[in-house]
Amino acid sequence: MSSTEFLSSLKYNYAMSSQLNTATASKAMRILLIPSFNIINGRIHPYVPYGLLALQAISVESKQFVVDVAELPREMLIMTFSCSEEVSECFLEHTDTYGYDIYAISTICDSAHYSIDIAKQLKNLYAKSWVVMGGPYVTKLAERILAAFSFIDAIFVGEGEVSFRLLTNRPFNKFSPFDGIPGVRTRHATFIAANTIDDLDLLPFITKAPDYFHFVNKVKEYDRDSFVIPLEATRGCPLQCSFCSTRQIWGSNVRRKSARRLLDEMRIINHVTQETFFSLIGDNVGVPVKQFMEFCDGMIKEGNPYKWAISLKLDWIKKEHLQKMWEAGCRGLFIGVESASQETLRKVNKSANLQKEIDAIKTAIELGFQVETSLIIGFPWEAESDVKQTYNLHCDFLRLGARRSQVIILCPIPGTEIVENQVVYFDKWNSNLNQDNITLSPHHVEMVKTHPELFAHFGHYETPNIPRRILRAYRDAAAQVAGLNIKHNKKLVVAK
């Protein structure tokens, strides 16, 4: 769809929504959902904004609102950005944002400064409209964000579906539209915590979102060789890793969709796209192991014809578990091993047996699984011997036949436990979390300086036992070694 067609479709939706006859409004209200940006080396990489499309799917039943998901304009996809302020300016210049009652902006940590810029400009342009935020970045920092930025009116905290359904299915109060809605934090109303969604099967199918297949087709067109259909499978993680924010956002209780529910969604998506491989979204799909094996039994019983990949820890997974996973259609595994030091895993509260994890990875590779591993260096207490050990483990995984492996430098993620317990230093105004390689403008440097607790990811932890230039050298060497492997694995080959 061209930008002209996209704008036309927005106008068409608005024209249709204006004809809605409800007892509470003469015309439907309008919400624009704005995705966060995924930027690598100065270039925007489009993706399927699953969380926003899930909200759009929720809103289909509403007679009060028309909900659109903003598409990244073509002009952004062809640019290489060199200055951080160019990003939000380009989006606003080439996106039709006129005529909405609520602008809801999704945020992730590494592109939060762009999202905040967009929020400010939208408030300047449309002072009578409401500007809200949601997503992983703001969930833990909601009170601080509202205190720091007066142009943000409300924050959706945690899982947004319950809050969004209540908002879009009650009469719109233009003076206080979010009061009394659980899970929405404002400056004036008492905050009411929202319950988590225990039964994920009760969520609407993602395919009910009017824009879902449009985004799938666009991203597939952009990245035809490596695109895999994303499909949410679980929420929650029982691990207490001090450097990670997952548990703070989704909770410690793992909730999962049933095998039948996932297969129903797969069948619909396959019917439209002919895709047969799915990336099951969930930070630790394989726990608890008993429930995960019951899920695999369900996939086998249902006669699953599709293949899928997951993220999980493997130290509790035995060979017989892997064999059942294979029979159920699993072919891809992503494992955050994190470190080659059991002592480091203990210090960051990662409950994992390192040797069992390594042994299980070897077994998975031998069985034919496409395995990807991730490791972290730069913990404050590490010496070069620790870093070298982790680098060597990365190389070992590649030698064993891992499809991919990566080594990243530890980044202080705002709101995480380790940030509260370690000093964060700021100097070069870049982030080890993102890979956008875009120079921060003076405006954004000032933003980070003024609110360092909100932008800890632009700083770093001191590593007194190893110079940071040595850390970067190990990281870059690891990327070069992995690059030799990736050249031969540009597309995930589904083993038969």
Per-residue pLDDT of the chain (496 residues; tens, 9 = 90+): 333 333 333 333 333 333 333 333 347 899 999 999 999 889 999 999 999 999 999 999 888 899 999 999 999 999 999 999 999 999 999 999 999 999 999 999 889 999 999 999 999 999 999 999 999 899 889 999 999 999 999 999 988 999 999 999 998 888 999 999 999 999 999 999 998 899 999 999 999 999 999 999 999 998 877 889 999 999 988 878 888 877 777 777 889 999 999 999 999 999 999 999 999 999 889 888 999 999 999 999 999 999 999 999 999 999 999 999 999 999 999 999 999 999 999 999 998 899 999 999 999 999 999 999 999 999 999 999 999 999 999 999 999 999 999 999 999 989 888 888 889 998 866 666 666 888 899 999 999 999 999 999 999 999 999 999 999 999 999 999 998 876 555 444 443 3
pLDDT at 488: 54
Which of helix, strand or coil describes residue 130? strand
Distance CA 100, CA 50 (A): 21
Distance CA 246, CA 237 (A): 7
DSSP 64: S
Angle of the 289-301 helix axis to the 319-327 helix axis, nearest 10: 30
Which of helix, strand or coil describes residue 371? strand
Amino acid at 86: E
- Helices and strands (DSSP H and E) totals, the chain: 18, 18
Distance CA 226, CA 243 (A): 29
Beta bridge partners of 375: 338, 407
Distance CA 164, CA 326 (A): 37
In the CATH scheme, what is the code of domain 3-185?
A: 3.40.50.2300
CATH 3.20.20.70 residue spans of the chain: 225-423+462-486
Angle of the 259-273 helix axis to the 289-301 helix axis, nearest 10: 50
Which of helix, strand or coil describes residue 78? coil
Which of helix, strand or coil describes residue 365? helix
CATH 3.20.20.70 fits 225-423+462-486, yes or no: yes
Determine how many CB atoms are found less than 10 A away from the CB of residue 167: 28
pLDDT at 22: 32
Instruction: Tell which residue, 143, 147, 61, 156, has the closest CA to residue 104.
Output: 156
Which of helix, strand or coil describes residue 45? coil
pLDDT at 417: 87
pTM score, two decimals? 0.89
Determine how many CB atoms are found less than 10 A away from the CB of residue 423: 10
**For residue 454, what are its two tokens?**
């909100």
- For residue 437, give Cα distances in angstroms to 243, 398, 428, 431, 433: 23, 26, 12, 9, 11
What contacts 24+ positions apart, CB below 8 Å, involve 270-276?
A: 270/306, 272/207, 272/213, 273/213, 273/216, 273/217, 273/220, 273/229, 275/228, 275/229, 276/305, 276/306, 276/307, 276/494
CATH 3.40.50.2300 residue spans of the chain: 3-185
Contact 31, 101 (CB under 8 A): yes
Angle of the 50-59 helix axis to the 212-222 helix axis, nearest 10: 160
**Hunting for tokens 């980044």 — which residue is that?**
411
Distance linking the first and last C-alpha atoms of the chain: 36
DSSP 404: E
Distance CA 258, CA 253 (A): 16
